[in-house]
Amino acid sequence: RPTADGRPPLPPTSLPTSHPNGTLQQLPKIIIIGVRKGGTRALIEMLSLHSAVAAAQNEVHFFDWESHFQKGLPWYLSQMPYTFPGQLTVEKTPAYFTSSKVPKRIHQMDPDIKLLLILRDPTERVLSDYTQVFYNRLQKHKHCQPIESVLVKDGEINLGYKALNRSLYYVHMQNWLQYFTLGSIYVVDGDELIRDPFPEMKKVESFLNLEPQINTSNFYFNKTKGFYCLRDHGRERCLHDSKGRAHPNVAPAILQKLYQFFHEPNQKFFELVGRTFNWK
């Protein structure tokens, strides 16, 4: 139960839920905090190739949804997979990155936790975000607005469009840096993870101090899908069809406006993290 001030009780790490075969549920030592449409599913699946890592199946939304957070850490723990004692549990909830209350809450649970943030070109991320919403609405037989009418209002970039805000990475990163140092947050290059996942995953392995285990034969390019897929103990699998969907065509002039719009916020992000990315 939450304490009187709304905070969850202390982590029940001394009371692990154990299973007869020696496995137990453990709180995550690694969280993939976002960004939405950054490649979070690919990252968690690729990380799961490592035998020391065990991933929660679903997005848990513990720190960002009040209805879940109020249930406290025992509930959060109950969402975790059964693992062997030496294994590290990881969960991914892409919405954490852009939710301002989340950094403090995660820090309260575990100030030493390792955070992974996967980002991609902010403009591409907006198009991916739009595409996701488009398909969700289509499924529900709801009306879908054409991309240009959400991106532009009165001839200018529509600042009211939520997806644009999610791509203002520096704004959200500032919130995280109030609670965590850069040593605790590794920024994965989502564009590189698409282009060539192996080198990117080696960097992730090294940040997490994992014994090097992931290797090139874990990945193969699937021409039909147009993306890398995974090979795990001889079993081959690609991500779900909802990952890697075609994005809408946007008039070059509008795309140019978007690139310009993100130019300054991107520079601010690079300064914050002391690193640059190949964003347009």
The residue annotated as part of the active site, out of 37, 92, 114, 257, is: 37
CA distance linking residue 224 with residue 21, whole number of Å: 41
Q: Are strands 82-83 and 152-153 parallel, antiparallel or unpaired?
A: unpaired
Give residues 80-99 in contact with ligand PPS (rule: CB under 6 A).
Answer: 94
Q: By the 8 A CB rule, do 170 and 122 touch?
A: no
Binding residue per annotation — 105? no
Looking at the Cβ atoms of 82 and 227, the one nearer to ligand PPS is: 227
State which of residues 28, 39, 72, 103 lies at the interface with ligand PPS (CB under 6 A). Answer: 39
State which of residues 40, 79, 98, 266 lies at the interface with ligand PPS (CB under 6 A). Answer: 40
Binding residue per annotation — 225? no
37 flagged as catalytic: yes
Q: By the 8 A CB rule, do 96 and 64 touch?
A: yes
Binding residue per annotation — 166? no
Residue 193 found at the interface with ligand PPS (CB under 6 A): yes
The kind and range of the H/E element at 232 are: strand 227-232
Binding residue per annotation — 128? yes
Count of residues that bind ligand PPS according to CB under 6 A: 19
Looking at the Cβ atoms of 73 and 185, the one nearer to ligand PPS is: 185
Q: By the 8 A CB rule, do 38 and 94 touch?
A: yes
CA distance linking residue 122 with residue 268, whole number of Å: 13
Residue 12 found at the interface with ligand PPS (CB under 6 A): no
Residue 128 found at the interface with ligand PPS (CB under 6 A): yes
What's phi and psi for 271, nearest 5 deg? -65, -45
Q: Which residue in 29, 31, 36 sits closest to 190, CA to CA?
A: 36
State which of residues 28, 31, 36, 97 lies at the interface with ligand PPS (CB under 6 A). Answer: 36
**Residue, CB closest to ligand PPS:** 128
CA distance linking residue 234 with residue 213, whole number of Å: 15
Q: By the 8 A CB rule, do 187 and 266 touch?
A: no
Q: Which single residue is written with the structure tokens 């601010």?
A: 268
Segment contacting ligand PPS by CB under 6 A, of 38-46, 71-79, 149-157, 204-212? 38-46
State which of residues 97, 228, 262, 279 lies at the interface with ligand PPS (CB under 6 A). Answer: 228
Tokens standing for residue 137: 């609405």
List residues with catalytic annotation. 37
The residue ranges that bind ligand PPS (CB under 6 A) are 36-42, 94, 128, 131-132, 193-194, 227-228, 239, 243-245
Per the annotation, binding residues for 3'-phosphoadenylyl sulfate are 37-41, 120, 128, 228, 243-247
